[in-house]
Structure formats: structure tokens, C-alpha cells
Amino acid sequence: MASVPSLASSLHQRIADALSAALPEAGAADPLLRRSDRADFQANGMLALAKKLKGNPRELAAKVVEQLPAGELIKDIEVSGPGFLNVTITDEAITRTLAARAADDRLGVPLAEHPGTTVIDYAQPNVAKEMHVGHLRNSVIGDAVVRILEFSGEQVVRRHHIGDWGTQFGMLIQYLIEHPHELDHKGGEVSGEEAMSSLNRLYKASRTLFDSDEEFKARARRRVVDLQAGDAETLALWQRFVDESKIYFYSVFEKLDVEIRDEDIVGESGYNDMLAETCRLLEESGVAVRSNGALCVFFDDVKGPDGKPSPLIVQKSDGGFGYAATDLSAIRDRVGSLKADTLLYVVDARQSLHFKMVFETARRAGWLTEGVKAVQLGFGTVLGKDGKPFKTREGETVRLVDLLDEAIDRATAVVREKAQNLTEEQIAERGAQVGIGAVKYADLSTSVSRDYKFDLDQMVSLNGDTSVYLQYAYARIQSILRKAGEARPAAHPELPLAPAERALGMHLDQFGENLAEVTASYEPHKLAGYLYQLASLYTTFYAECPVLKAETPQQVENRLFLCDLTARTLRQGMSLLGIRTPEQL
């Protein structure tokens, strides 16, 4: 593993050195380097510096240029406009840097210098309930962020805060006690669909009874008390609901190609033993106060529509603990026991007020200390084509499985149409990889906080900013590499580069810088944007520069080298988004 400095950072260093040599009175001034259309890079730092030193920017810039003779890195440097520096990099430096990247498993991307521990809360469906499009986002974004953080060297602890506790279990368990065979399955393994459909049936039946039969309602309420008291029979039945739901969750996550491990599923019930203590600590410290019997935390800037303060309720007046008590206890566990220095929550933006209040409460209580960062990656809503929250024609929430199945069907049709000598089995496998990739990419290429329209036609399109486009670019490169026969990818730094080769090469070199930004800001859409641009630059390169029919054997090798590095960068980047890149399509 050898990290490779980018051309931009080498050049930055070189100009900064030249600056302090030419103008020692300037101190450590930033050359303000950025990519430019005119040359490869432009440095604007001389303007601010001239102001500071009360000099003429063009004259100062000329002095700096004197310190920067053309050489291995710099081909050409000139003063332009009011005092910019325009810099062109040598072709040789580009190819040498890329060769160093190619020689490294991590493509020269450095590990974080000071990795920390992040606990990330994502992929949190609810027991005995169908997964819907909202769970698509918390799973897909969370999975990508986990991969991106782990690639940077961060220690990541995953937490699936599933909704597995609450009063609705009283009703479900009581119903099951009175109808003991409702969750039985005849023989063999139960599929996720079967598990969900029996849970659904049971849910509906018990709800109907609950709403129509006062005596059942009373028995269901007593059952909640038994559950909270830890009664063994009640807990055993509750566990059956959890287990049955997990069969279903796992089947959906498998379809979604998101890996979930059992030990990372710590649902709301996992914090049950801490709730009373959490409340006691809050009350003793005065962070929370009793108000009409409920334990509440107040905030100056949080008011209801009536203008009255709207508190975070940690314990209801009937003694029951709510969502907030669980989240506060989870913070104590994640910081106190898991030693997190960053807490991430991939949760719907509509829960932002909840998290704002929970974080603030935890700060006041001293559970979130100064060194600990807590961030909600609040995601936007998935919309239908009409721009309204995505619903079925009947106005119901869309089942995640139905949506994924449809995406796979559409993608399979695309793959089948383009397929050359693929077997039916291969078409099905690729269809799933393309379909799921399309759904994930559409989600991840939009910034997390924004809403987006779920439009399958657009998602599986071969043109435009889609995963299909990226997957085809990758597969096309693999096919060229297979066709190359004896010729192997090899860098030849002595060869001059065509404009499309330079543009591709400069972009390839920026992979690490892009990732650093994506990692620091938790913004997978910037990685998607980088990859899309990479595939576009590759398409131009491929149109303008013959690879296997290039003029000399060296040029064939050098172009194969560019193809290969592009493919590896695409593959690495897509894998960080959780998207497969089939070798052949």
C-alpha cells in the first residue's frame, strides 16, 4: 500500500515553495490552485497576496514564475489576466503518476491519518411491518456510507435500530395466544414473502379485533405490561414475531444486495434495560422536568403551532417510555460502551426535529461530549412521477419488494436485448445486478437531503447519468482487455498524450481527492458524479483514440493501461456505492 500524491497536490506544494522563495515576506501563502479549462491548473493566490503586500499582482506572479522552471512536472507556466498563473503539466508526469496508482491495490488512495470510531444507525425496518421505499433510502445510503468510511480506515460499528418494541406488540402477542397456530408454517423453509404475508394477516386480524372488541383490547393492554415486565411466555412470543420478521428482512436485504449481520441488529428492545436509568439521570440532573406527569426536556427554540414550548417527552405520564428514551439510551451505549467519536443516523429528514432535540438533550446530560460528533443524514422523500410522495394507484405505500422486482424485470429486458452469447442464467444474474444497481444509483446520485422521483424508465436507461451507463462502460473495457490477446496494459511515460487521454488521465488522478471530500462530508452523490464524469471522459477517449489499432505497440499498451486503470477506478468507486460491475454484459 503506497499512497500516491495527486498532481494537484504536488503542484500545490511546488508553487507554495516557489512563493516563499520568491517572496519571503509573504509567509505561508496559499497559491489557491484549481483545475482550469485554459491550462491544466490555475493559481489565483497572487491577487490576494498582492493586496496584502501592496504590490502589482502581475509583477509578483512573474517573480514566482522565475522560481518555477519547466521540468518533469511543469511543462509550461505563464502569467495571465490580472495576475493568474496558468500551469500545464507534462504528459510524462501524468502517466508516471497514473502508473504509481496502478501499482497500488488502493489506487494510491491514502488511509485516514487519524481514523476514529463511527457508529452508524441505518437499515432500520419495523418488526411485523412491510418495508417501503423509505427503507430503501436508509439501507442504500447507509450501506454506501459504511463502505466509504471503512475504505478510509475508519472503525465502523453498524447498528440496525429496528422497531421491535412498543404497545402494538401487546395486541399481536395476545392475538397469537388466542390463535396459537397463526404463525405456524407447514414443513420446509419459509420464504421472506411467506413470513411477511402471515405477519400481515395476523396484524390485520388483531387490529380488527382490537378496534371492535373492548375485552380483547383490555387483554392486549395487560399484555403490554407483561411484556415490559419481562414475563417469560410473553417474551417468547414476542421473539417469534422478531424472528419471523427477520426472515422477511433478510430476504429483502438480500434482494437489495445489502449485507446485514445479525449481531448488528440491535433494535429498540435492546435498550429496554437502560430506559429507567436514562430517565432517572435526566431528572436528577435537572435536564428533564415533570410536566403534567410526563418527563420532558424543553428548548427555547422549539415551539408548537400554538406558540407554546413543545418538549421532548422522555417518559409519558402513564409511565411508558417512548422513542426518545430509547434513542437517548442508545447514545449512552454508543458513546460510553462502543467508544464512538462520531454518531451517524441515516434517517428520514422528517425526523430531524426529533434528532435535534435528542442530540441537544444528550449534550446537556453530558453523554455527548465535545469530542463526539452527532450527525443525522436526514434523507429526502421518494416521489412518484407526479411529484407527490410515492404511492400505489390505490394510494397505499409502495412495497419495497414490488419495486425491486419491477426494476429487476426492466433491467433483465435491457440486458437480454443487448446480450451477446449470455446464457439464460447469466441474463438473470446480470439483470438483477443491473436492476438493483439502477435503483441504488438513482438514490445515491441525488444528494441525501433532496427528494427525488422514482422513475424506472430513466433509471435503466443506457444513456445519461445511470448505473447502467457506468456498468456498460466497465464491461466494454473488460471486453477490450479480453480482445487484446498478447498485448498487456503497460505505462509508457515517454509517449505524448492526446487531449482525450490527458483529460481522462487528469480525472483518474483525482479519485483520492474526490474520496477524501466524499468521506468527510458523507456525500455519496459526489462519488457518483465523479464516476459518471469518469465514464463520460472514457467514452470520449474511446471515440477519439483507437486502442487495439493504435499506431505503435507502445501506444497500444499505454492505451490499454488507461483502459485498465479506468476500469479499476470505476469498479472500486461503484463497489463503494454498493453497486456491482459485471465483467460482461
Residue 508 sits in the site that holds ligand ARG (CB under 6 A): no
Report which residue type is found at 581. T
Nearer to ligand ARG, 163 or 505 (CB): 163
Residue 347 sits in the site that holds ligand ARG (CB under 6 A): yes
Query: Between the CA of residue 508 and those of 87, 152, 331, 504, 533, what are the distances in Å?
Result: 19, 18, 40, 6, 10
The upper half-sphere exposure of residue 235, i.e. CA atoms within 13 Å in the direction of its Cβ, equals: 7
Report which residue type is found at 34. R
Residue 314 sits in the site that holds ligand ARG (CB under 6 A): no
Size of the site for ligand ARG (CB under 6 A): 8
Name the minimum Å distance from CB 253 to ligand ARG: 14
Considering only residues 99-128, where is the footprint of ligand ARG by CB under 6 A? 121, 124, 126
Nearer to ligand ARG, 127 or 404 (CB): 127
Nearer to ligand ARG, 58 or 129 (CB): 129
Measured in residues, the chain has a length of: 585
Residue 130 sits in the site that holds ligand ARG (CB under 6 A): no
Name the minimum Å distance from CB 369 to ligand ARG: 19
Name the minimum Å distance from CB 329 to ligand ARG: 10
Name the minimum Å distance from CB 167 to ligand ARG: 15
Residue 512 sits in the site that holds ligand ARG (CB under 6 A): no
Nearer to ligand ARG, 264 or 513 (CB): 264
Site string for ligand ARG, 148-167 (x = CB under 6 A): -------------x-x----
Name the minimum Å distance from CB 162 to ligand ARG: 6
Residue 571 sits in the site that holds ligand ARG (CB under 6 A): no
d(CA 485, CA 137): 43
The upper half-sphere exposure of residue 324, i.e. CA atoms within 13 Å in the direction of its Cβ, equals: 25
Residue 327 sits in the site that holds ligand ARG (CB under 6 A): yes
Query: Between the CA of residue 387 and those of 242, 285, 446, 466, what are the distances in Å?
Result: 35, 47, 15, 20
DSSP 332: I
Nearer to ligand ARG, 42 or 251 (CB): 251
Counting Cβ atoms within 10 Å, is residue 238 exposed (0-12), middle (13-18) or buried (19+)? buried
C-alpha 99: how far from chain center? 29
Cβ–Cβ < 8 Å for 511, 109 = yes
Name the minimum Å distance from CB 234 to ligand ARG: 22
Counting Cβ atoms within 10 Å, is residue 464 exposed (0-12), middle (13-18) or buried (19+)? exposed
Nearer to ligand ARG, 378 or 493 (CB): 378
Residue 6 sits in the site that holds ligand ARG (CB under 6 A): no
Name the minimum Å distance from CB 323 to ligand ARG: 6
Name the minimum Å distance from CB 423 to ligand ARG: 40
Residue 287 sits in the site that holds ligand ARG (CB under 6 A): no
Name the minimum Å distance from CB 342 to ligand ARG: 15
Counting Cβ atoms within 10 Å, is residue 20 exposed (0-12), middle (13-18) or buried (19+)? middle
d(CA 335, CA 328): 11
Nearer to ligand ARG, 163 or 437 (CB): 163
Phi-psi label, residue 314: left if phi above 0, alpha if psi -120 to 50, beta otherwise = alpha
Question: What would you report as the CA-atom Rg of the chain, rounded to the nearest whole angstrom?
Answer: 29
d(CA 127, CA 160): 12
Which residues here bind ligand ARG, judged by CB under 6 A? 121, 124, 126, 161, 163, 327, 345, 347
